[in-house]
Amino acid sequence: MSASLATWILVAQRLAIALLTLVIVSFAVFFATEMLPGDVAQILLGQAATPEAVAGLREAMGLDEPALLRFLGWMRGLVSGDFGTSYVNDMPVAELIGDRLINSLRLAGVTTAVSVPVSLVLGIGAAMWRGSFFDRTVSILTISVISVPEFMVATLAVLIFAVWLGWLPALSYGADTGSLAAMLKAYAMPVISLSFVISAQMIRMTRAAVIETINTPYVEMALLKGAGRVRMVLVHALPNALGPIANAVALSLSYLVGGVIIVETIFNYPGVAKLMVDAVATRDLPLIQSCAMIFCVSYLTLITLADLMAILSNPRLRR
Amino acid sequence: MKAVSRPSRSGDPATPPRRAGYSFNWVGRIGLGVILFWGLVAIFGPALAPYPPGEIVDWDYFSPMSADYWLGTDYLGRDMFSRILMGARYTVGIALVAVTLACTGGVVLGMVAAVIGGWFDMILSRLLDAFNGIPSLLFGLVAVAAVGSSIPVLVLTLAAIYLPGSYRFARALAVNINTMDFVTVARARGEGTPYLIAREIFPNILGPVLADLGLRFVFIVLVLSGLSFLGLGVQPPNADWGALVRENIEGLSLGAPAVIFPSITIATLTISVNMFIDNLPTKIRDRS
């Protein structure tokens, strides 16, 4: 099972690419927000400001330095944990983000804990009984969820669970988490909506990964030998499909990044995504940049993780 | 690799006569029908609208479906049916222009990279892969936050988001075609790069590229609706379908048709494109 040198070279290569990508991405994030038409100092001080005041603020904020220098300074700050100061309320960005990040991570964590087991069971089941009524139902449902926008899944979930059935509150107010029951209720809607979005991808990819393994000669051999369908999939096919499945799970979890933006907004959930959408409305650049970097880093981490799983689980690279 | 099977397949006993493999099954036809329907609505819809889409016609807001207002009215009492007809023009129009830009750019760059190869290919691939490392909705948020929302900005942003994926897809196909004998022969004949790209490679990747274009169209509709839903897409008083959902989200707790129907129209468009692409005639899909 021990990985060979070739594998480690591939892993190192992949990590280097991820690092390079991160640099390019931060470059893009920084300069996209720098392209803002109009002068930041002018916007902050309003129309009535004198040219001297604007020039003074520009100097104080370091805006008169070349963009590349500011980029390097910004990067240095990010690495050392200094995210800058919000334009709008003059608070350190790190402080604004702190609690929000924990909230978002909690939402993502609960969603992962709910959706991964469910998706694996449904995906493997659909592959096991391929072509059956169950498989087709799962297929149609997942395709439908994938091809509608995230906000529609959330809207439908509210309509069904909060309006028609009246089981859950439609909005999740962060403050209302006194008792365990209240907290569960407050989390339920965002988690359900997000789980739907993530699971649909995961189920499809898991099913595809297992079916690919089922189509190999050695699994066919197991079938010819007289193994039942369940035994054929669970004992013969599944061990070799684990790598692709892990890859699929990590890849699907990267959809959390997009989904969380919509879901937090709809349910008014106090997370990083909501913070960022609000920051976009007020054009609070340091805050937007930091939030964007948080999302890009998590996205890149998950994608890289998916690739690493694929590399490490490839038996052709083992010696 | 199924290679490029040139016309002479009449001898194949497994193929039934008469353009076999080029006909659509019924699921694909339904998909195509719905796509064409929305295409026509996008063109002629505003002319068919019973009321001016921006005008308040009913004192009652979030009114239910009725003979006067087929799909009810919105949060200001504007006719939903007219607004959805108008929204079709924004959603379908913006997505169509954006996907055309993204795929044209991606496919051309992809073919050039595949034919030229070397440093050009490597740098371009690395760079565009890096852009794939930015989640699409986030890219949209940051870009729109930076430049402000207008329709040209939306189109360019959406095109930029999906260009790298299209590039990667077309490049992978073109690299395969590029190693085939007929391309080698053309090269040996002394044909230049533009000829190779336009006459030898492009016709052979066209089928899969069109299927890919359809899928990207769906993604673009979804991201556009998402951006509009966040209030960063099409700006009031105009509204695409995503913005219509956003405007009327308050009506959700009332179960108002004003919030349900725009959601349904988005779903019919995206699902029917998926149905159409999934059921493309095998000959078109499997060209490469």
Q: DSSP states of A79-132 as a string? A: HTT---B-TTT--BHHHHHHHHHHHHHHHHHHHHHHHHHHHHHHHHHHHHTTTS
d(CA B44, CA B217): 21
Question: Phi/psi zone of residue B3: left (φ > 0), alpha (ψ -120 to 50 degrees), beta?
Answer: left
Indicate the pLDDT class of residue A275, thresholds 50, 70 and 90.
confident
Asked if B133 reaches chain A (Cβ–Cβ under 8 Å), the answer is yes
Q: How far apart are CA B125 and CA B174, in angstroms?
A: 14
Which residue is associated with the tokens 């504007």? B78
d(CA A317, nearest CA chain B) in Å: 23
- Residue B2 is predicted with a pLDDT of 42
| Residue B146 to residue A34, Cβ atoms within 8 A | yes
Residues 1-30 of chain A whose Cβ lies under 8 A from any Cβ of chain B: 17-18, 20-22, 24-25, 28-29
ipTM topping 0.85: no
pLDDT along chain B (288 residues), means of 10: 42 47 75 87 79 72 71 76 86 92 93 88 84 80 78 89 90 88 89 87 87 88 88 82 83 75 87 83 58
Exposed, middle or buried by CB within 10 Å (0-12, 13-18, 19+), for A133? exposed
- Contact assessment for residue A45 and residue A60, using Cβ atoms and an 8 Å cutoff: no
Q: Which of A181-185, A233-237, B141-145 has the highest average model confidence (pLDDT)?
A: A233-237
Chain B residue whose CA is closest to A300: B133
- Greater model confidence, A275 or A6: A275
Domain ranges of chain B: 26-281
Where do the domains of chain A lie? 94-311
Q: In whole angstroms, what separates CA A254 from the centre of its chain?
A: 4
Chain A nearest-CA residue for B145: A280
pLDDT of residue A1: 45
Span of A82-91, A240-249, B130-139 with lowest mean pLDDT: A82-91
| Number of C-beta neighbours around residue B86 at 10 A | 21
The predicted structure's pLDDT at residue B234: 83
Cβ-count burial B12-47 (b if 16+ within 10 Å, e if not): eeeeeeeeeeeeeeeebeebbebbeebeebbeebee
Instruction: Report residue A318's pLDDT band, with 50, 70 and 90 as the boundaries.
Output: low
Nearest residue to B154 (alpha-carbon basis) of B234, B84, B55: B234
Nearest CA in chain B to A20: B130
The superfamily in CATH containing domain A94-311 is: MetI-like (1.10.3720.10)
**pLDDT of amino acid B109:** 93
> What's the whole-number mean pLDDT along residues A98-127?
89
B131 touching chain A per CB within 8 A: yes
Asked if B189 is an interface residue toward chain A (Cβ–Cβ < 8 A), one would say no
CA distance A206 to A130: 13
Looking at domain B26-281, what is its CATH homologous superfamily? MetI-like (1.10.3720.10)
Write the CB contacts of A50 (distance below 8 Å, at least 6 apart in sequence): none
From A43-47, A48-52, B251-255, the region with the lowest mean pLDDT: A43-47
Residue A3 has pLDDT above 80, yes or no: no
Q: Which residue of A has its CA nearest to B133?
A: A300
Largest CA distance in chain B: 75
pLDDT at A119: 93
Size of interface A-B (CB pairs under 8 A): 138
Per-residue model confidence (pLDDT) at position B107: 93
User: Which range among A1-5, A160-164, A264-268 shows the weakest confidence by mean pLDDT?
Assistant: A1-5
